[in-house]
Structure formats: structure tokens, C-alpha cells
Chains A and B, each alone.
Chain A
Amino acid sequence: MREVRLSVNGRPVTARVEPRTTLADFIRERALLTGTHLGCEHGVCGACTVLLDGVAVRSCLLLAVQAEGAEVTTVEALAGDAGLHPLQDALHRHHGLQCGFCTSGILMSLAELWPRRDQVSRDEIIDCLGGHLCRCTGYVGIVRAAEDAFGLPAGDRG
């Protein structure tokens, strides 16, 4: 067992875990934040995406011990006292989710782009969303929500 200290959404979290524990399991079972979802557990589906020091990563492909000292941001950090984050609000308005299982990962991939939202292109959004599997929506609503949130004109197709 190894002691791991990191920060999740600005809150220090320390726990003794086995070295093989993934960051995803650490977030869900030690930080007790279950908004980060585990779908495939081998890096394909994108549901477990979180920000590691501001960079979008698959938390199932990272060991918790590797995140020692890092700042981890999960979907729980997006909504504030003022309500939903603009990305969440856009997904809500454009029917960008149905069951919602994939949504937290999609939000965190888009959240990586948010700090430089004035320079984000539609191609970049499509590239970003391509790393996420959604079996409900057919993606059209997700793409429209992202275009809206980033202030881009709606594309001519999903």
C-alpha cells in the first residue's frame, strides 16, 4: 500500500491505496466523487475523462500513484452557486444527453478547451468529441451544444 496525496477540485485528498489502483477508482472510492464514470476501463469510451493539472486525460489509464501532487478536476467542479456551467447548460438545452453516462467525460474534454474558448474551432470540437462514445444521442445534440457554448455557428450537419 502506498500513501497518495493529491488535490481533487481544490480539496486535498490523502489515502493509502494499492499501487495498481487507477486514478478513476481513487476518485470514485477514495475521494467519493462518483460523477466520474467508468465504462470500458481501457481508454476507449472516454467516460472517465478528467483534467490532470488542466489537461484532459483518461483516469482509467493512469495510476493514482502517478497523480501524486497533481490537481485533478472532475465534473463536480463545473456547476457553481450560479447554476450550471455554460457547457452543462448547453448540453441540457440541445438534448446533448439522454442516459447521461458518457456526459461527464464529454464535459471534461470540452472543459479542457474552455479557458481558450475564443480560439476553438469546430474541427477541434469534433476531434475532441471523437474520443467519446455515446449510445443515446447520435451525437448531433452534443455537437450543437458545443457549437453553441463556444459561440460557433451551427454546422450544416451533426
Chain B
Amino acid sequence: MLAGGQSLMPLLAFRLARPTLLVDLNRLGAELGGVEAEPGGALRIGALARQRAVERSGALSVLGEALALVGHPAIRNRGTVVGSVCHADPAAEVCAVALALDGSLELRSIRGRREVAVDELLTGPFSTAIEPDELAVALRLRPPAGWRWRVLEVARRAGDFALAGVVAGVDPAGGDARLAVFGAAPRPYRLDGPPAGLAERAAAAARPSGDLHGGVAYRRHLVGVVARRALAALGTDAA
């Protein structure tokens, strides 16, 4: 399935993917391109909604903050929010936002329609629970009322994949906090609880793989750093 093509086209160029059939969804913009606020506070993002359009729409500030870190403007002009979730890159900012905001993916096939929680959807690096005959038609995000969020990452250059990153939220009313960590494990992971000690728990839960951009210990260290900074920026005394 070809939507924005900003991940699939490079895979084709490298011959890492050799599909026998490629279906382009881009003429279905009227059906799949919408972004709508639903009753109850959820945001439904259609499969062809471009990252740049969602970023600029102001529909959800935490998502806009995350999207500004995705690639570059010309990439976001084509890339889609839903495609990013389907691609399931362990370092993808959008997957972490979806995990933090109790996201779910709406899937359709000739067998019917089903909705899968992002937590169950992401099964590993570039792997999801989407069946071969299913089409992702929308992502549904459920931001908890009143929470404040920050997205923070460390990358070698602007637009690069993060060495470690975090979507951090706090509930000013109840004092609870939440972290969704990306780039530090085979898939993003989430921690909930009081802000004190949450960054340390996040670092302890990291399962990064080392490469020439950063070793395992350094990447684990970075998880703690970005988590502490994000929580501090949100006014908690986690640092």
C-alpha cells in the first residue's frame, strides 16, 4: 500500500521490499484525507492526511510538536501520520505519540472492520498486527483532558532518527505523569505513574541496540536525560 511513500519508496529503491503488487491510495484523498474531532475528545486522522497538514492544522499540539521532528518539510509534505504508525519504525515519533494518547488503528478488509490498540498493533521493529488483507484507514487518538505534553529527542542532526526520544505528559490536576519512549527499544514503550523516579524507570526499561551513532549504554543514558528534561519542562520536580 502506497500512501505518502516516504518510507516505502526508499525500501523499493534499495530492493529491500519487492512487492508483486503495489496499490496507490493517493486518489482517495476525499475519502481518506480527513482529520476530525470526534465526540468524547478523540481525534480521527485519515490514512491520507499528510504530516505537514496535520502539523500545521493545530488539531493537537503534542502531535504537531512531534511531527516537526519528523524528517524535513518536503518529506512531511508527502508523508502521512497513519503511514508512520503502519511502518512501525522503533524511532518514529508518531508511534510514540499514538502510544501515549491511547491510540488505535482502524483497519478494514473484505472481512469487515476492526480497531486495534496501538499497544497491541506494534509487535516489533517494522512489524505490526495488520493482516495482509487489511487496509489502515484511520488513526484515532484519545488525549486525556487537561494534560500538558512535551516531545523531546536527541538526534545527530535535525531530521535524523532520534538516538532516544520521549513523549512526556503530566496531569496538572492529579499530578500523574506518562512517558512514551522511542528509539530505545524494538518498539516504543510507555510508563505511567508519579513523576518522581519515572525517568529512571524509563532508562531501566530501555533495550536499545548500539551502532556507530551511539552505544547501548549511551543510548540508555539518553533516555533518562530526555525524560528528566521533558518532565522538568512540564514543571514537575522529577529532576
Contact = CB atoms under 8 A, between A and B. Distances in A.
A60 to B, nearest CB: 7
A109 B73 contact: yes
Interface in A40-69: 41-43, 46, 49, 55-58, 60-63, 65-66
Contacts, number: 64
B38 interface: no
Nearest to A113: B73
B26 A43 contact: no
Contacts of A46: 72, 74
B36 interface: no
B10 A127 contact: no
Interface in B49-91: 68, 71-75, 77-78
B13 A65 contact: no
Given A65-B24, A66-B26, A130 B159 contact: yes
Interface residues of B, number: 22
A58 B158 contact: no
A15 to B, nearest CB: 18
B158 A130 contact: yes
Given A41-B13, A42-B14, A130-B158, A61 B73 contact: no
Given A41-B13, A42-B10, A130-B72, A61 B159 contact: no
A131 B159 contact: yes
Nearest to B74: A56
Bin chain A's interface residue count.
20 to 34
Contact of B24 (A49, A60, A66, A128): A66
A127 B73 contact: yes
Nearest to B22: A19
A131 B74 contact: yes
A62 B24 CA distance: 11
B24 A43 contact: no
B23 to A, nearest CB: 11
Interface in A44-97: 46, 49, 55-58, 60-63, 65-66
A66 B78 CA distance: 12
B127 interface: no
B72 A61 contact: no
Contacts of B12: 20
A131 B73 contact: yes
Interface of B: 2, 5-6, 9-10, 12-14, 22, 24, 26, 68, 71-75, 77-78, 157-159
Interface of A: 19-20, 41-43, 46, 49, 55-58, 60-63, 65-66, 109, 112, 127-128, 130-131
22 contacts: A20-B12, A42-B9, A42-B13, A42-B14, A43-B9, A43-B10, A46-B74, A55-B77, A56-B77, A58-B78, A60-B9, A61-B5, A62-B9, A63-B2, A63-B5, A66-B24, A109-B73, A127-B158, A128-B72, A130-B158, A131-B73, A131-B74
Given A65-B24, A112-B73, 7 more contacts: A43-B75, A46-B74, A56-B73, A56-B77, A58-B74, A58-B78, A131-B72
